[in-house]
Amino acid sequence: MKAKITVLNPAGFPPKVTRKELAPRLPTLEGKTVYLVDCRFDDSDVFLKQMQAWFAEHMPGVRTIFKPISSVYLNDDPATWEEIKARGDAAIVGVGH
């Protein structure tokens, strides 16, 4: 029988995961303002404008605002988030790829 040996685990130490609260959902989108947030990644703007057109055709009671983030997706963008919080009801962010 081959001898067993003891070795050390090479993985680092992950941080504790703490659950973050998710925002309550809306009862309806009718009459609400939805921001389409462009993360400025590889033609995401083209995609979100098509989604904006879909809302205009299928859910005209939803007001949509196309909003590119203020810089690159690697940076936090509090100005944009504050604007959406103040003037919007929901957000669709994309397209991550």
Query: Which residues sit at the interface with other proteins, rule CB under 8 A?
Result: 2-29, 34, 37, 40-44, 46-47, 49-51, 53-54, 58-59, 68-72, 74, 76, 81-82, 84-85, 88-97
Type of residue found at 93: V
Nearer to other proteins, 43 or 66 (CB): 43
Min. distance of Cβ 6 from other proteins in angstroms? 5
CB of 36 to other proteins, least distance (A): 9
Non-local CB neighbours of 31 within 8 Å, separated by 6+ positions? 61, 62
Helix or strand run (H / E) with residue 59:
none
Distance separating alpha carbons of residues 87 and 64, to the nearest angstrom: 11
